[in-house]
């Protein structure tokens, strides 16, 4: 790739600005590596040398003017699958109870049958970078602040996001009380799952039913 212009400058260390040209890409000039994560790009591209250098200068000005703030937040995600209805107290002519109304309905899983609940949560370092009128957010999971069962994959595509998106409203500045609450949620879910693990064995189901044992209490 032919080099058409080179000059040296200083950005927290020596930096050589190099403008290159190809028929395919036009004029390109790489930005200082420290600017990559803030600007979200590695180079400027234009059809002319002057245009490429102007874009480069504008990007550097934006980078230098950028402000970065960080805070610890708790992000969480709930998924449910259930169709919960109320039944009429009286029986119809065929001895069946009729549905009075739907109390709750959700289908967040699409691939499961029955009644399901999933909880994913994590404590993150939220980094907000303000570039002019634009603010960009990134999230880094702080491991082992919540039970691993609900923190698992909290920083990946199967859990919580790297940008705000649909989870913006669930970004809560974390407190010891908030983390204790979600810790209790995670431990409670673990206990519930381990209790229901007994239902994997039909003989255990028969034993529990015969004893009158109620998995979640007496209910209403």
Both 197 and 130 in one domain: the answer is: yes
Decide if 60 is inside a domain: yes
Contact 123, 146 (CB under 8 A): yes
For the chain, the average pLDDT equals 85
8 A C-beta contact, residue 189 and residue 79: no
Q: Do the domain assignments include residue 110?
A: no
pLDDT at residue 104 greater than cutoff 60 = yes
Burial 9-21 (b: 16+ CB within 10 A, else e): eeeeeebebebbb
Based on the fold, state whether residues 165 and 76 are members of the same structural domain: yes
In this structure, of 55-69, 82-96, 133-147, the range with the lowest mean pLDDT score is 82-96
pLDDT band of 217, cuts 50, 70, 90: low
| Same domain assignment for residues 172 and 187 | yes
Q: Does a structural domain hold residue 107?
A: no
pTM of structure = 0.69
The verdict on 177 and 76 lying in the same domain is yes
Phi-psi region of 88 (alpha: psi -120 to 50; beta: other; left: phi over 0): beta
Do residues 76 and 170 both lie within one domain? yes
179 assigned to some structural domain: yes
Residue 17 pLDDT > 90: yes
Q: What mean pLDDT is predicted for residues 112-139? A: 85
- State both tokens at 199: 């239902």
Q: How confident is the model at residue 18 (pLDDT cuts 50, 70, 90)?
A: very high
Q: Indicate if the alpha-carbon torsion angle 36, 144, 71, 135 is positive or negative.
A: positive
Number of domains in the chain: 2
Q: Is the pLDDT of residue 150 over 50?
A: yes
Same domain, 172 and 76: yes
- b (16+ CB within 10 A) / e for 107-118: eeeeeeeeeeee
My answer on whether 123 and 179 are in the same domain is yes
* Domain assignment present for 38: yes
Average pLDDT over residues 83-97: 77
Please state, in angstroms and rounded to a whole number, the distance separating the CA atoms of residues 63 and 44: 13
Query: How does pLDDT run across 166-195, given as a tens digit for each residue?
Result: 555 568 999 999 999 999 999 999 999 998
Quick check: is 61 in a domain?
yes
Range of the domain at 61: 3-65
When mean pLDDT is compared across 92-96, 144-148, 208-212, the lowest value belongs to 92-96
201 and 122 share a domain? yes
76 and 179 share a domain? yes
Q: Report the percentage of the chain scoring pLDDT > 70.
A: 89
Residue 145 lies in a domain: yes
Domain match, 54 and 131 both: no
Distant-in-sequence, close-in-space partners of 56: CB < 8 Å, separation ≥ 6: 17, 29, 31, 44
128 & 194 share domain: yes
Residue 92 belongs to some domain of the structure: no
Q: Are 30 and 39 contacting, i.e. CB atoms less than 8 angstroms apart?
A: no
Residues 49 and 137 in one domain: no
Give φ, ψ of 163 to 5 degrees. Answer: -115, 170
**pLDDT above 60 (res 84):** yes
Distance CA 200, CA 198 (A): 5
């Amino acid at each position: 790739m032919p080099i058409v212009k080179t000059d040296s400058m200083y950005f927290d260390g020596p930096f050589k600005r190099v403008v290159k040209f190809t028929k395919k890409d036009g004029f390109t000039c790489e930005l200082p590596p420290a600017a990559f994560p803030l600007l979200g790009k590695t180079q400027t591209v234009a059809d002319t040398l002057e245009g490429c250098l102007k874009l480069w200068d504008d990007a550097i000005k934006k980078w230098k003017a950028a402000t970065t703030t960080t805070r610890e937040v708790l992000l969480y995600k709930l998924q449910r699958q259930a169709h919960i209805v109320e039944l009429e107290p009286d029986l119809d002519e065929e001895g069946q109870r009729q549905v009075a109304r739907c109390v709750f309905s959700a289908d967040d899983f699409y691939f499961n049958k029955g009644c399901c609940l999933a909880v994913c949560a994590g404590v993150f370092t939220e980094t907000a970078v303000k570039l002019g009128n634009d603010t960009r957010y990134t999230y880094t999971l702080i491991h082992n602040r919540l039970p691993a069962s609900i923190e698992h994959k909290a920083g990946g595509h199967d859990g919580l996001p790297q940008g705000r998106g649909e989870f913006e409203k669930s970004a809560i500045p974390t407190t010891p009380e908030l983390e204790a609450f979600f810790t209790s949620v995670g431990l409670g879910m673990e206990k519930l799952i381990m209790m229901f693990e007994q239902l994997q064995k039909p003989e255990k189901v028969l034993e529990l039913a015969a004893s009158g044992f109620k998995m979640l209490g007496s209910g209403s």
